[in-house]
């Protein structure tokens, strides 16, 4: 075997490894990204950016014990760092009328029909992205608080407080929705 | 109570994650993420963005000094279109936009009502075609400019994106411009930056001043302007030509993505930027009044386009 063919073979192996990584990780990254940014198109963009970044560092990333955890960290970082403009637009969208109008009978009837899961999803969608990210990593990916802290680049204490605040806010939102249903029904 | 909530939360998150369609996964897997260099090494020019800890967070980028061969034929000034170049690009772009506009699970919907977040648009019009050698950049918009789509057509490659302004669109001043977005994207592994926006009725020419000192002349048509250039250098000002002379307008700072964390030991980290969505910036101009000129617009097929959420600046590409 010549030196040239050995080098070529090595590069081919790395490419094959990376292709396999994309195959194995894309579903998980997309699910996580979708739940953090709450928008499929944006999640696709983020995952593509994330995989581009991983590709550029692949010679190092492939030697890591958990390449997926590294990719997930990039994804979360991209999702949250790109947040200000996104959050602003989402906030403006809410103001533009996406939020519920309690006086609307039809909307109230629709609301009455939805189950706890749908209410929870609505409430989740209202959470700030960072709080939602904590809950997604904790309860969808079943990461420990320490792993969530690592993924978010913050302390375990911050994760605990964010998770607690997120859960409290979800509870409050659910209670509010249910009281509105009761009010409309009475 | 928390245990029950946590259980419900797990189920809700799983249900929501299960909404991700297989087509979306296929699209993500279908892209070629490998740098066009040997051994998956980071590219050293064109599209690479050095992460600089400059005040204000601005990044220093490599730009036009060594444009990628992939963009051979690109010109800093618009060029004339070859016969059928615009119509051919328009067909490809329309097909791409239809493909990414999505329907059913592919389309952004309200988590609460399950209905599309945006009202369906029955028609969009092509408002601008920017030609630079073999490359065609098309801009589509609705009548009030609150929703728009952009499409980049290169030989063997089409990339499209669409977005909508979050709030009411402020009329652009007669002698000013309003940036809809300045974003970065990838074409066959090579980064490029594009800008699009509305130009006041009195603006006859828009020249973009890039942070590396180079300039790019935008195409100005129908009250819109647009341009693109290889690399990730942003435009921070524009020289506007009006009947009374030229003025310099400050453009909104591009919303460039932050560098992702580097792996341990990666001391020479470069941060490639494949896309960055800018929000609708403030109207740039010295005087109030004026408005968006309607001009002649080429209608697209009615009922084929619907835009995503304001937050969604969706890119899709095909090689």
Indicate the range of A135-139, B189-193, B238-242, B287-291 predicted with least confidence: B287-291
Asked if A169 reaches chain B (Cβ–Cβ under 8 Å), the answer is: no
d(CA A22, CA B33): 9
Q: How many CB atoms lie within 10 A of CB B250?
A: 11
C-alpha B286: how far from its chain's center?
A: 26
What confidence tens digit (pLDDT) does each residue in A8-37 have? 566 777 888 888 899 889 999 999 999 988
pLDDT at A186: 43
Residue A6 contacts B where some CB pair is shorter than 8 Å: no
Q: What is the mean pLDDT of residues B221-241?
A: 91
Q: Are B257 and A52 in contact (CB under 8 A)?
A: no
More confident of the two residues A46 and A113: A46
Task: Quickly state the pLDDT bin for B132 (edges 50, 70, 90).
Answer: very high
CA–centroid distance for A147 within its chain: 15
Query: Does A146 lie at the interface with B, CB-CB under 8 angstroms?
Result: no
- Please tell me the predicted confidence (pLDDT) of residue B118: 46
Query: Distance from A155 to chain B by nearest Cα, in Å?
Result: 16
Residue A87: the pLDDT is 43
Mean per-residue pLDDT of chain B:
65
* DSSP class of A65: S
B46 vs A10, higher pLDDT? A10
Whether B65 shows a pLDDT value over 60: the answer reads no
CA dihedral B286, B291, B292, B293 (to 10 degrees): -110
Mean pLDDT, range B283-295, rounded to an integer:
23
A53 vs B27, B111, B260: nearest CB? B260
Among A109, A110, A126, A113, residue whose Cα is nearest residue A171: A126
Which of A52, A59, A140 is nearest residue B39 as measured by Cβ atoms? A59
Q: Is the pLDDT of residue B12 over 70?
A: yes
Using a 10 angstrom Cβ sphere, with 0-12 exposed, 13-18 middle and 19 or more buried, the burial of residue B168 is: exposed
Over the stretch B205-229, which tens digit does the pLDDT of each residue have? 999 999 888 999 999 999 999 999 9
Residue from B252, B205, B247, B244 nearest B227 by CA = B205
Contact A135, B9 (CB under 8 A): yes
- Residue B124 binned pLDDT confidence (cut-offs 50, 70, 90): confident
Distance, in Å, from the CA atom of B288 to the CA atom of B306, rounded to the nearest integer, reads 31
Percentage of residues in chain A having pLDDT higher than 90: 18
The answer to whether the beta carbons of residues B158 and B253 sit under 8 Å apart is no
In this predicted structure, the answer to whether residue B236 has a pLDDT above a threshold of 70 is yes
Give the SS3 label for residue A43.
Answer: helix
Comparing B258 with B197, which gets the higher pLDDT? B197
Nearest CB neighbour to B255, from listed A41, A85, A125: A85
Q: How confident is the model at residue B240 (pLDDT cuts 50, 70, 90)?
A: very high
3-class SS shares of chain A: helix, strand, coil, % to 5: 85, 0, 15
Quickly count: other Cβ atoms within 10 Å of residue B174's Cβ.
Answer: 20
| Range of A62-71, B38-47, B57-66, B291-300 with top mean pLDDT | A62-71
Q: How confident is the model at residue B295 (pLDDT cuts 50, 70, 90)?
A: very low
> Which residue out of A37, A44, A142 would a mutagenesis test of the B interface target, given it has the greatest number of B Cβ atoms within 10 Å?
A44
Q: Could you read off the pLDDT of A143-163 as tens digits, one per residue?
A: 899 999 988 888 999 999 999
For residue A101, the 8-state DSSP code is: -
Q: Parallel, antiparallel, or unpaired: how do β-strands B283-284 and B157-164 relate?
A: unpaired
Using CB atoms and an 8 Å cut-off, which of residues 52-71 of chain A contact chain B? 52-61, 64, 70
> Six-digit token pair at A35?
């739940």
Q: Do A74 and B260 touch (CB under 8 A)?
A: yes
Query: For chain A, what is the mean pLDDT?
Result: 74
The three-state secondary structure class of A103 is: coil
Token pair in block for residue B143: 């009548």
pTM for this entry = 0.44
pLDDT of residue B10: 87
Q: Nearest-CA neighbor of A77 among A130, A39, A26?
A: A130
Lowest model confidence (mean pLDDT) among A76-85, B10-19, B44-53: B44-53
Query: Quick check: B261 and A74 in contact, CB under 8 A?
Result: yes
C-alpha distances (whole Å) from B165 to each of A48, A177, B100, B209 are 24, 29, 18, 25
The conformation of residue A81, written as its DSSP 8-state character, comes to H
Average confidence (pLDDT) over B248-260: 61
Interface of B with A in 148-187 (CB under 8 A): 166-167, 186
- Bridge partners (DSSP) of residue A105 are none
> Which of A32, A38, A53 is most worth mutating to test chain B (most B CB atoms within 10 A of its CB)?
A53
Chain A residues inside the 8 Å CB shell of B111: 38, 121-122, 124-125
CA distance A154 to A133: 12
In three-state form (DSSP H/G/I as H, E/B as E, the rest C), the secondary structure along chain B is: CHHHHHHHHHHHHHHHHCCCCHHHHHHHHHCCCCCCCHHHCCCCCCCCEECCCCHHHCCEECCCCCCCHHHCCCCCCCCCCCCCHHHHHHHHHHHHHHHHHCCHHHCCECCCCCCECCCCCCCCEEEEEEEECCEEEEEEECCCCCEEEEEEEECCEEEEEEEECCCCCCCCCCCCEEEEEEEEEEECCEEEEEEEEEEECCCCEEEEEECCCCEEECEEECCEEEEEEECCCCEEEEEEEECCEEEEEECCCCCCCCCCCCCCCCCCCECCCCCCCCCCCCEECCCCCCCECCCCCEECCCCCCCCCCCCCCEEEEEC
A140 secondary structure, DSSP code: I
Interchain CB contact of B111 with A (< 8 Å): yes
ipTM more than 0.85? no
Question: Highest mean pLDDT: which of A79-93, A125-139, B92-106?
Answer: A125-139
Task: Note the Cα B148 to chain centre separation in Å.
Answer: 10
Annotate B116-131 with b (16+ C-beta within 10 A) or e (fewer).
Answer: bbbeebeebbbbbbbb
Tokens representing residue A138 in the block:
């904790």
pLDDT level of residue B143 (50, 70, 90 thresholds): confident
Taking the Cβ of residue B32 and every Cβ of chain A, the question of whether any pair is shorter than 8 Å is answered with: no
């Amino acid at each position: 075997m010549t030196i040239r063919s050995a080098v070529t073979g090595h590069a081919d192996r790395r490419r094959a490894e990376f292709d396999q990584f994309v195959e194995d990780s894309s579903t998980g990254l997309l699910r996580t990204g979708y739940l953090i940014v709450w928008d499929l198109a944006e999640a696709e963009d983020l995952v593509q950016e994330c995989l581009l970044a991983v590709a550029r560092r692949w010679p190092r990333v492939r030697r890591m014990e958990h390449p997926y955890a590294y990719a997930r960290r990039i994804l979360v970082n991209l999702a949250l760092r790109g947040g200000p403009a996104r959050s602003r637009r989402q906030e403006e969208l809410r103001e533009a009328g996406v939020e519920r109008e309690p006086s609307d009978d039809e909307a109230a009837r629709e609301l009455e029909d939805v189950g706890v899961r749908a209410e929870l999803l609505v409430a989740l969608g209202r959470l700030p992205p960072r709080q939602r990210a904590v809950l997604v990593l904790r309860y969808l990916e079943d990461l420990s608080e320490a792993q969530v802290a690592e993924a978010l680049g913050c302390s375990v204490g911050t994760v605990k407080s964010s998770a607690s605040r997120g859960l409290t806010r979800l509870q409050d939102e659910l209670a509010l929705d249910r009281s509105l249903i009761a009010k409309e029904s009475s | 109570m928390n245990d029950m909530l946590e259980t419900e939360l797990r189920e809700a998150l799983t249900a929501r994650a299960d909404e991700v369609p297989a087509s979306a996964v296929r699209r993500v897997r279908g892209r070629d993420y490998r740098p066009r260099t040997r051994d998956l090494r980071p590219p050293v020019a064109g599209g690479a963005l050095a992460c600089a800890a400059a005040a204000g967070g601005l990044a220093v980028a490599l730009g036009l000094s060594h444009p990628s061969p992939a963009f051979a034929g690109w010109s800093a000034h618009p060029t004339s279109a070859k016969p059928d170049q615009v119509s051919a690009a328009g067909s490809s772009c329309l097909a791409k936009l239809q493909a990414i506009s999505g329907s059913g699970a592919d389309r952004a919907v309200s988590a609460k009502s399950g209905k599309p977040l945006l009202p369906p648009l029955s028609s969009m019009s092509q408002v601008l075609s920017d030609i630079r050698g073999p490359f065609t950049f098309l801009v589509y918009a609705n009548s009030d400019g609150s929703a728009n789509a952009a499409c980049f057509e290169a030989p063997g490659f089409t990339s499209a994106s669409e977005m909508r302004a979050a709030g009411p669109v402020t009329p652009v001043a007669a002698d000013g411009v309003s940036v809809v977005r300045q974003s970065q994207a990838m074409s066959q592994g090579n980064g490029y930056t594009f800008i699009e926006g509305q130009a006041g009725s009195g603006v006859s020419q828009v020249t973009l001043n890039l942070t590396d000192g180079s300039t790019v002349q935008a195409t100005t048509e129908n009250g819109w302007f647009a341009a693109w250039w290889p690399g990730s250098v942003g435009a921070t000002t524009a020289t506007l030509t009006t009947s009374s002379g030229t003025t310099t307008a400050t453009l909104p700072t591009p919303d460039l993505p932050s560098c992702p964390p580097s792996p341990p030991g990666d001391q020479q980290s470069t941060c490639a930027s494949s896309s960055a969505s800018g929000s609708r910036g403030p109207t740039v101009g010295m005087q109030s009044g004026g408005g968006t000129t309607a001009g002649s617009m080429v209608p697209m097929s009615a009922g084929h386009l619907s835009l995503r959420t304001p937050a969604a600046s969706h890119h899709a590409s095909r090689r």
